[in-house]
Amino acid sequence: MASPVRVRFAPSPTGFFHIGSARTALFNWLYARHTGGRFILRVEDTDAARNSEAFLNVIYDSLRWLGLDWDEGPGVGGPFGPYRQSERAPIYKTHLQKLLDAGRAYERDGALWFKLDGERREVFDERRQKNVIKVARPPAVINDAIRGRVERLEDEDFVIARSDGSPVFHFVNVVDDIEMRITHVIRGEDHLSNTSKHVELFKALGAPVPVFAHIPLILKQNGPGKMSKRDQGALVEEYQRRGFLPEALVNFLALLGWNPGNDLEKMPLAEIVARFDLPGVNQSNARFDERKLAHMNMEYTLALPPESFVRKAAAFFASNNLPPPTDTPALFDAVMRLCQPKIKSLGDLPDYTRYFFTDNFPVDEKARAKVLSKGDPAARLRELLDALQNADFSSDAAIETAIKQLAESRGLGFGDYQAVARLAVSGSNAGPNLTGLFRVLGRPRVLARLARFLETL
Ligand code: GLU
């Protein structure tokens, strides 16, 4: 029986957590959940000058927000800890010594070098304009689970520890994959060029070489080239701040380079887990499409059960330090339910719902000019004020009946009252349906706002 899958996400906390890192974490997590294996979080924080605790906390927060729970790692522990490389110096020292003892490492110019197997000879390197030692040997073969067979010649010794004794990335990365019993290394394609070095190190340390799976790059939305942390829409926390649903972002990221083998886009997480596999990951690069992400988020937002939408809306206001818009929970609940079908993300809510919670709302000047240019809005407002004085506001249907009866009595239609009424009570020409709007505001506020607006005409 093959040993159980153990995969890891190994971020370096040197910058904000971006879409590409989140996708690498997600593919590892999906593979672990798909196979019943374990997902390990390992922090590659050996570069003290470039790492920061703040960046690390953003990584933890973003992973938790996305629901990518780790089975071993910082905060949860595990049998192969510590899980931060900055706390593992003695382990690296032991392995460096092992290579020195075996004659596979040597000192040169203060640094420690890894010694490749094979015959050496000194040659003049044109490009670097100096003599270098070349090692005669066959190329390393990598059977990448995504890229297929990749050959790469590693024919020069390389540094594994700097003159200050600190081991370099290639070395600590491989030592930890060995120590943590990693079976599959799933990571960005930018690391494919390092893999031949890593293979040599695994072999020299007497460890089995894990399966490698290099995920294609994410191209920026417009134009050529790889998406970078500086590109618009690149940071995970941005979506969190804008009220995107993590399940929408996870669904979107899953499709960024993985083909589920059907035309489905929106898929429950359980189905993504069930279908995800490495052969389904594309070799070609994936292009980031923020509109597609926004659309996915809208679909998820619309599909939320209303009570869950209301809860998330409240959490969104709270997490963004927005003052609670009302201290009447029933009003908050009614407003959110009414507006759910009309918004694209939770982030739209503060602006979209403002006039429900204050009488002091702005009036859109363009909308005002447009509405006032047609028919006789003042007359319509006077009629509404009169007809609704004692109207039943307990249901949308009752409100609709009242307005329709009024319209009929004047030989007009519902539409003749709609735009000016909406403008008067909300300051806008867009919003949830008018009868729902009236019901949620309640008769006294509707009448007061109609009268107030009429006075401005
Ligand atoms: N710390 C490396 C990075 O951030 C991880 C490399 C790997 O996954 O092997 O890219």
- Residue-wise pLDDT for 339-385, tens only, equals 999 999 999 999 999 999 999 999 999 999 999 999 999 999 999 99
Ligand 1, atom nearest to 24 Cα? 8
Give the Cβ contact number of residue 330 at 10 Å: 9
Given a cut of 70, is residue 1 above it in pLDDT? no
Do 102 and 46 fall into the same domain? Answer: no
Where is the domain boundary, 148, 182, 215? 215
Ligand 1 centroid from CA 161, angstroms: 18
Question: Which ligand 1 atom sits nearest the alpha carbon of residue 8?
Answer: 8
CA-based end-to-end distance of the chain: 82
Task: Lowest mean pLDDT of 77-86, 215-224, 332-341, 345-354, name the range.
Answer: 215-224
Q: 35 and 134 share a domain? A: no
Ligand 1, pocket-test mutation among 173, 194, 198, 211, most atoms within 8 A of CB: 173
Is residue 291 one of the residues assigned to a domain? yes
- Structural domain harbouring 328: 306-357
Which stretch of DSSP H or E encloses residue 246? helix 246-254
User: Which residue, judged by its Cα, is nearest atom 6 of ligand 1?
Assistant: 10
Same domain, 293 and 312: no
State yes or no: cis peptide before 341, omega within 30 of 0. no
**Ligand 1 atom closest to residue 44's alpha carbon, by position in its atom list:** 1
Q: Looking at the domain assignment, is residue 79 inside a domain?
A: no
The region, left, alpha or beta by phi > 0 then psi within -120 to 50, assigned to residue 100 is alpha
Ligand 1 binding pocket (C-beta < 6 A) is 10-12, 44, 173, 185, 187, 191
Report how far ligand 1's centroid is from the alpha carbon of 275 (Å). 25
Do 129 and 174 belong to one domain?
Answer: yes
**Residue 82, in any domain of the structure:** no
| Sheet (strand 158-161) strand order | 105-108, 111-114, 158-161
Q: Which of 25, 27, 48, 28 is nearest to 38 (CA)?
A: 28
Cα 190 to middle of ligand 1, angstroms: 9
Residues 92 and 210 in one domain: yes
Q: What pLDDT does 148 receive?
A: 96
Does some domain include residue 83? no
Same domain, 202 and 107: yes
- Per-residue pLDDT at 173: 98
Q: Where a domain ends, among 215, 238, 266?
A: 215
Which pLDDT does position 221 carry in this prediction?
87
Question: Quick one: 93 and 194 in the same domain?
Answer: yes
12 CA distance to ligand 1 middle (Å):
7
Question: What is the CA(416)–ligand 1 centre distance, in A?
Answer: 63
CATH number at residue 125: 3.40.50.620
81 domain residue, yes or no: no
CATH number (domain holding residue 378): 1.10.10.350
Q: Whose CA is nearest to atom 5 of ligand 1?
A: 10
Q: What is the pLDDT of residue 49?
A: 85
Q: Residue 222: pLDDT above 90?
A: no
Residues 261 and 201 in one domain: no
Total tally of structural domains belonging to the chain:
4
- Considering the domain architecture, whether residues 341 and 421 belong to the same structural domain is answered as no
**What pLDDT score does 86 carry?**
96
Question: Mean pLDDT, to the nearest integer, of 375-397?
Answer: 97
pLDDT in tens, 113-143: 999 999 999 999 999 999 999 999 999 999 9
- 229 an active-site residue? yes
From 334, 357, 380, the end of a domain falls on: 357
264 — pLDDT class (breaks 50, 70, 90): confident
* Best of 168, 191, 217 for a ligand 1 pocket test (most atoms within 8 Å of beta carbon): 191
Q: CB–CB of 382/425 below 8 Å?
A: no
The tokens for 165 are: 């004794």
pLDDT tens digits, one per residue of 147-192: 999 999 999 999 999 999 999 999 999 999 999 999 999 999 999 9
Does residue 32 lie within any of the structural domains? Answer: yes
The single residue of 134, 203, 226, 229 carrying the catalytic annotation is: 229
Percent of the chain at pLDDT > 90 equals 89
What's this model's pTM, rounded to 2 decimal places? 0.93
Of ligand 1's listed atoms, the one at least distance from the Cα of 9 is 8
* CA 177 to ligand 1: nearest atom: 9
Same domain, 221 and 208: no
Distance 11 CA to ligand 1 centre (A): 6
**Residue 284 located in a structural domain:** yes
Please give the Cα distance from 381 to 98 (Å, whole number). 88
Confidence of residue 445 (pLDDT cuts 50, 70, 90): very high
In sequence order, which residues have a C-beta less than 8 Å from that of residue 268 and are 6 or more positions away? none
What is the pLDDT at residue 323?
A: 79
CB 239 within 8 A of CB 300: no
Same domain for 311 and 298, yes or no, is no
Matching residue, tokens 């307990």: 394
- For ligand 1, pick from 42, 44, 175, 178 the residue to mutate: most ligand atoms within 8 Å of CB: 44
Tell me, in angstroms, the distance from the centre of ligand 1 to residue 368's CA.
Answer: 56
pLDDT in tens, 419-444: 999 999 999 999 999 999 999 999 99
The answer as to whether 131 is a domain residue is yes
Looking at the fold, whether 335 and 293 belong to one and the same domain comes out as no
Residues 12-49 have pLDDT tens digits of: 999 889 999 999 999 999 999 999 999 999 999 998 88
